[in-house]
């Protein structure tokens, strides 16, 4: 069987970053549905734009319309979804973008793999636990998923009838103490700027 051969690019990461003043990284937002991951991601991207940093949101739902359209919601498909998202985030971070990834990512092992592949490639990875309590997520029910599960119209919602393994040592925790959106973004920005040396 043929094996792919790695091709070193003619322009190195250091050359690209130094020429354009870039510093890539991945900010990985994990939490239950309705915890505020996407809201925080959008505000973080806006703040990065205001500080002249390139950022791109890799929204898990949006990516399921294209690259991950062939995946369902079994545990195996969720793990593959996260694996692909992590690989794409690595590419964006390597390019010099801050990849902002709001994704439930319910399994510790999958998130650990996402971190490892970044670290193996000498890329910064910041895991943010959006730790909004389940009862508040269900009260918000931004996508109507909790109501569907409670009514028996669907199954497999992380944290309700499917596992959600909360991070044991995330880089940043927001949402657990009623932090405002601005406070949450400021906490993430502070960690990000320390990590990328900006």
Q: Residue 77 in contact with residue 52, Cβ under 8 Å?
A: no
Would residue 11 count as lying in a domain? no
- Residue 151: per-residue pLDDT: 85
Contact 45, 122 (CB under 8 A): no
- 39: in domain: yes
- pLDDT for 163 equals 87
Residues marked active site are found at 105
How many domains is the chain partitioned into structurally? 1
155 domain residue, yes or no: no
Q: Which domain holds residue 88?
A: 21-133+163-196
pTM above 0.85, yes or no: yes
Report pLDDT digits (tens) over 172-182. Answer: 999 998 899 99
Query: Residue 22 in contact with residue 96, Cβ under 8 Å?
Result: yes
Q: What is the CATH number of the domain that holds 123?
A: 3.40.50.300
152 lies in some domain: no
Is residue 108 situated within a structural domain?
Answer: yes
If one counts every other C-beta atom within 10 angstroms of the C-beta of residue 113, the result is: 15
In a domain, 15, yes or no: no
Considering the domain boundaries, does residue 153 fall inside one? no
pLDDT of residue 198: 56
- pLDDT of 46 reads 96
**Residues of the chain whose pLDDT is less than 50?**
none
Sign of CA dihedral 139, 142, 144, 146: negative
Residue 189 lies in a domain: yes
């Amino acid at each position: 069987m043929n094996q792919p051969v790695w091709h070193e690019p003619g322009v190195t990461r250091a050359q690209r970053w130094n020429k354009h003043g870039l510093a890539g990284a991945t900010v990985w937002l994990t939490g239950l549905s309705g915890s505020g991951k996407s809201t925080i991601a959008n505000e973080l991207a806006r703040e990065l734009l205001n500080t002249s940093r390139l950022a791109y949101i890799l929204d898990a739902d949006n990516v399921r319309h294209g690259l991950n359209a062939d995946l369902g919601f079994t545990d195996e498909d969720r793990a593959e979804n996260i694996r692909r998202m992590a690989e794409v985030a690595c590419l964006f971070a390597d390019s010099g973008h801050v990849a902002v990834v709001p994704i439930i990512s319910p399994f510790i092992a999958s998130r650990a793999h996402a971190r490892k592949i970044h670290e193996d490639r000498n890329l910064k990875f910041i895991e943010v636990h959006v730790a909004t309590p389940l009862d508040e997520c269900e009260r918000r029910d931004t996508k109507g998923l909790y109501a569907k599960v409670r009514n028996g119209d669907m199954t497999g919602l992380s944290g309700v009838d499917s596992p959600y393994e909360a991070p044991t040592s995330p880089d940043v925790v927001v949402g657990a103490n009623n932090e405002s959106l601005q406070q949450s973004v400021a906490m993430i920005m502070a960690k990000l700027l320390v990590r990328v040396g900006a």
